[in-house]
Structure 1
Amino acid sequence: MTPAPAPLVVFDLDGTLLDTHADLVESLNHTIAALGLEPVSYDDLTHLVGQGARVMIERACRLRGHPLEAEALPALVERFVAHYSAGMPGHTQPYPGLVAAMDRLKSAGYRLAVCTNKMESLALGLLDKLDLVNYFDAITGGDTFPVRKPDPRHLTGTVERAGGDIARTVMIGDSINDIAVARNAGVPSIAVPFGYSDVPVSSLDPDITITHFDELTSELVEGLLKGSAAKVAV
């Protein structure tokens, strides 16, 4: 009998793997200051993030009563990327227990990947600065493919790049895009409540919620995969 392929655990980045809020707010405020707009705060962040830098800037400007003309956006994105890149890793840190959890999964033979709507270059640069790149078999961003989360092709493309099997994949995230992309791709989802969702993650109907990465074990993942396989069989 052919052994089952190694499970693949796919992580969102901002608000899931990494607490990036301070640096996102700082670079976003640097960006909109060019328009003379009042700064945004951490409390605003949950309504701004999730679709990459372009949408975050557009939402911040709209929040401050300054809808953008399309031609103004590229220069602002460039300003944001330059400031954010120059400051890496800034205040950003992995969430408690993350590195130990990834070590456990890698020791068990698991593959790991990142599927984020952040620009791929920013995701790679940030993970590199934090010495985390080598944990992952694939890192894809919002500009890696023609589509992005919650389109299932962002996740399935990430799985393919990681050498995984969609039937042996679990998605972990903190927001509607992550839970929705998992559902759209037909894979189990794990939600974390410490990220940037503007609603309680339990209301997004993930398969399970963990409150700390100490709970992320191979037993938990295998249980989710078995449950998913059983649903398909029915």
Structure 2
Amino acid sequence: MIPIPFDVVAFDLDGTLADTAPDLAASLNHTLRALGRDGVPTESVRHLVGHGAKALLRKGLAATGEPSEELVEQGFPVFLDHYRANICNGTQAYPDLEGALEALRGRGVALAICTNKPEKLTRRLLEALGWTNRFDAIVGGDTLPVKKPDPAPLHEALARAGGGRAAFVGDSIVDADTARAAQVPFVAVSFGFSDRPVEALGADAVIDSYAGLVPALYRLYKPGTRALGATDIHPMFKN
């Protein structure tokens, strides 16, 4: 078995590892109706995710009338309570994901998650999906004082997973900007929640299914890339 030329592969969660749109949309619409608004179609929610739950609620309010921070603050606990209780009713892992994760793990690659979803909700969802022990590191949107696209959460996830040569897999401009800021190669999935065409993300590689992840990682590796230590704060990759 040929080793993967990366030591750590980190993943976004919503729209990257799992299609969480049905449950996010249900909680958003529950909250909007509690605030006297109409709901929004599930498909539209796929283009609103990425900056965290408050941003999602803010965008939902903007799509159904005048948004206000007062309504965001009023609706936020309603959203969280509903989502916490219904976090995996319709959520599903993307096809071929399990095989890709097994292939990486079998080649000695550490796996990490870097998401803007709150850490407790992230762990709750992973448990519901049967992934409690699947990942070596989990960094959520509230794990650090900052969230993506700041590179610090990705740096932290990679360090917690052991450091080394790293790549990041995501679906949105938030993920693309995070990878660029962290100077980590970025693999974009074409089937996620992006608000723009995947070609506009400026990814180093694009995959249409997880069957293509391992081959994409082989193509991405550049000889001479410096391995990162677990205590490195600012990863740098040589050209």
TM-score by length of 2: 0.88
Equivalence map 1:54-203=2 (5 Å) = 54-70=54-70, 72-165=71-164, 168-203=165-200
Identity of aligned residues (%): 44
2 CA distance for matches of 1:55 and 1:169? Answer: 29
Tell me the CA shift for residue 173 of structure 1: 0.5
1 CA distance for matches of 2:143 and 2:30? Answer: 26
Q: What one-letter code is carried by the residue in structure 1 that aligns with 2:127? A: D
1 CA distance for matches of 2:92 and 2:217? Answer: 24
Q: Unaligned stretches of 5+ in structure 1?
A: none
2 CA distance for matches of 1:74 and 1:5? Answer: 45
Tell me the CA shift for residue 136 of structure 1: 0.4
Contact 2:205–2:216 (CA under 8 A) maintained in structure 1: no
C-alpha distance 208-214 of structure 1, shift in aligned 2 (>3 A) = same
Residue 205 (str. 1) matches residue 202 (str. 2): yes
Contact 1:15–1:174 (CA under 8 A) maintained in structure 2: yes
Tell me the CA shift for residue 220 of structure 1: 3.4
Richer in helix (by share): 1
Secondary structure in 2 matching 1:216: helix
Q: What one-letter code is carried by the residue in structure 2 that aligns with 1:64? A: T
Contact 2:21–2:46 (CA under 8 A) maintained in structure 1: no
Contact 2:12–2:115 (CA under 8 A) maintained in structure 1: yes
2 CA distance for matches of 1:227 and 1:126? Answer: 37
TM-score by length of 1: 0.90
Aligned residue pair count: 227
> Which residue of the partner structure matches residue 51 of structure 2?
51
Tell me the CA shift for residue 129 of structure 1: 0.8
C-alpha distance 23-134 of structure 1, shift in aligned 2 (>3 A) = same
2 CA distance for matches of 1:83 and 1:9? Answer: 31
Q: What one-letter code is carried by the residue in structure 1 that aligns with 2:43? A: D
Contact 2:10–2:167 (CA under 8 A) maintained in structure 1: yes
